[in-house]
Amino acid sequence: MEKQCKFRILVINPGSTSTKLAIFDDEKQVLSKSLAHDVEEISKFPDIPSQYQFRKNIIIDFLAESGIELTTIDAVVGRGGLLYPLEGGTYLVNDIMLEHLRKGVQGQHASNLGGILAHAIAKEISDSTPAFIVDPVVVDEMEPIAKLSGHPLITRRSIFHALNQKAMARKAARELGKKYEEVNLIVAHMGGGISVGAHRRGKVIDVNNALNGDGPFAPERSGGLPAADLVKICFSGKYSEKDVMNMLRGKGGMVAYLGTNDMRIAKQMAKERDQFADLVIKAMAYQIAKEIGLLATVLEGNVDAIVLTGGIAFDDDFVELIKKRVEWIAKVFVFPGEVEMEALAMGALRVLKGEEEAKVYKPKED
């Protein structure tokens, strides 16, 4: 494929059973592919870091088959993984980052391979080709006041859909005719997990932990549960630690109530006069709206816009349930789906064009 741009960027987004790839020529996506990995083949590897060579070979082969010469690529960007907390932005992959991604310092996840693969492919091109990550899920810009939970043994943590939240926040800022760093926004990412963040002039100063608890319940998350009742469950002798963690993530929320994490199936149940299914859907929208209202107080009522995004934002009826409760606060933008590949590419492009400086990963171990 002939290069007709100033900067060509390879984007790598590893998932548990796939590796998503894209080529961007400046702002334009010119190639996109999701490479599926057989579950049996993936299961042969003892852990996620050991999948590295397997996935690297597949990427190199795909680029060759697609007519992409490595020498035409100016930068490689990968999905950021579970590193130690860091502020948002585009980071150069360095040695300490690679070490922490391989170790899985905050847990093992397929996204940890993003920076590792980006660095390896960049080195295949040349020693001077940069490798980046952008806005990983561990972006932490919360203010100290937001981190106090109520007990010194527990600190509120920032783990959320940072990549898509920040990309959609930038889009909303453009709609308002301003820069992201000039506006105050509340962004709700609604997918299998739900995160709602208060964005104040380019920083997410408060957000619910969308992985391990608190905030609204979601298709696969229980969200914030009454603490005393949860303690009783933990010490009932009926459930292991793993069982309880599964209640919080993966088997909590809508799937626990209705046996499905698919909004379309839940809506069909409600349409067939299942009154409880209808109640669960309305309750999830209610809790999202309540979280948005909570964050309006964090921003002291100074909210330029509210953004609803993620896969559930395609559901107009669900969106309306939220809008009717919150649109008195500020204008509501609805940007359905997610733009992870574009967000990764644009993060790298801003650095290549000199609009931002690449940040250096110097972790404060949490």
In terms of domains, do 107 and 230 share one? no
Does 287 map to a domain?
yes
For the chain, how many structural domains are there in total? 2
Q: Note whether residue 153 is domain-resident.
A: no
Do the domain assignments include residue 157?
no
Return the CATH number at 347: 3.30.420.40
pLDDT, position 352: 97
Instruction: Report pLDDT digits (tens) over 336-359.
Output: 999 999 999 999 999 999 999 999
Same domain, yes or no, for 296 and 209?
A: yes
Q: Are residues 126 and 20 in the same domain?
A: yes
266 shares a domain with 192: yes
In a shared domain, residues 169 and 273 = yes
| ∠ Cα 47 60 133 (to 5°) | 65
Q: Is residue 116 part of a domain?
A: yes
DSSP 255-277: HHHHS---HHHHHHHHHTT-HHH
Using CA atoms, how far residue 269 sits from 21, 263, 287, 322, in Å, is 36, 10, 20, 20
221 domain-assigned: yes
323 shares its domain with 353: no
What one-letter code names the amino acid at 259? G
Q: Is residue 17 part of a domain?
A: yes
CA 179 to CA 176: how far, in whole Å? Answer: 8
**Could you tell me whether strands 305-310 and 331-336 are parallel, antiparallel, or unpaired per DSSP bridges?**
parallel
pTM for this prediction: 0.90
Q: Which domain holds residue 107?
A: 8-138+341-360
Give the confidence band of 107 by pLDDT, cuts at 50, 70, 90: confident
- Quick check: 366 pLDDT over 70? no
pLDDT band of 365, cuts 50, 70, 90: low
- Cβ contact 90:361 at 8 Å: no
Residues belonging to the chain: 366
